[in-house]
Amino acid sequence: MSIAPSIRKSLVLVKDRWLRRLPPYGDLDPKFPATWVDGRTCASKYWGFCYVRIPKCANSTVLRTLIEHDERMLKPLGEYDSLKAKSEAYSRLSSLSLRRAVLLRRINYFSVVRDPMSRLVSAYREKILEGKAQKYRVASFYGIQADENICFERFLAYLEAGGLYEDPHWLPQSEFLTGVMKENLMLGKVESLEDDLRYIVHVLFGESPWRGVKSWIPHKGNEKKFSVGDLSVNQKSRVRAMYERDYELLESAYFV
C-alpha cells in the first residue's frame, strides 16, 4: 500500500522537526532537511565516533577503509557493497542514545572535505553531464527539456538563484558540520587522503595495523569531460564567493 504524497510530506516534516531538537542538529540551516546530515552519519557507540559523510568527498572510500580496520564489524567486509555499507555498517547518530554523550562532547566527530571548486566540478560532471536526476531539476528551473545541454555557466547561475541548497551534492561542506560537532572535530582532506585516514584510523581504533586506503568504486577518470581548468576567471570568482565558508573551513585548525 503506497503512502499519499501529502502524508509522506507531513511525515518528512515531522521527522525534520524531531531531528532539529537533537543536540547535533539544532543549529542546522532551515534551508535544507536535517535528514541530509543525519542520513549521512555513521556512528559507533562502542568506539565513540561519528563519521559525517559529505557527498563528493571520497565517502565510499573512507567508509570502506573504516570497515576494513574495525575489528568489531558484525559482518565481514565481503558482505557489504558501497550502498549496503552506507545504510548498514554503522548507525545513524539519531538512532543512538547519545544525547548525554553529545552534550558532554565525548563523541569523536570526523569528516573528509575537499577543495570546493574541485568538488563542485565533480558534482557537475556526475549529476548534470551524465544526466542524473539532478539534471531534471536544473532543466525544470530553465523550462527546457532534460535532454538539452546544460553548460556550467547555466548550472552556476542556477546555484546562485537558490539551487545551492536544493541538493546535498553541492550543498556547502560547512553546512554538514554543526556547532556541537566542531567542539570535537577532526578533518581530513581528499587531497591528502591516505595520510589523513591513517592518522584518523589510529585515533579511532588504536594500534590496529594499517591496511591502507580501500575503495569499492574505481576512479572514473572522467576529468576530460570537464575540469576546473575549463572554468573562466569570472566563474572561479563566483564559485569562491558562493563557497566562502568552505574556503574558511579549509584554513581552520580542525585538520589532522
Q: What is the mean pLDDT of residues 234-255?
A: 96
Q: Is the model's pLDDT at 103 over the cut of 60?
A: no
Lowest mean pLDDT among 70-79, 91-100, 130-139, 203-212: 70-79
**Which of 84-88, 106-110, 212-216, 243-247 has the highest average model confidence (pLDDT)?**
243-247
More confident residue, 7 or 75: 7
- pTM given for the model: 0.91
Q: Is the model's pLDDT at 42 over the cut of 80?
A: yes
Query: Order of strands across the sheet with 49-52?
Result: 41-44, 49-52, 108-113, 185-189
Q: How does pLDDT run across 190-211, given as a tens digit for each residue?
A: 999 999 999 999 999 988 789 8
Q: Is the model's pLDDT at 13 over the cut of 60?
A: yes
**According to the model, what pLDDT value does residue 76 have?**
62
- When pLDDT is cut at 50, 70 and 90, the band that residue 178 belongs to is confident
Q: Which of these, 8, 5, 35, lies nearest to 20 by C-alpha position? A: 35
56: cell is 563528493
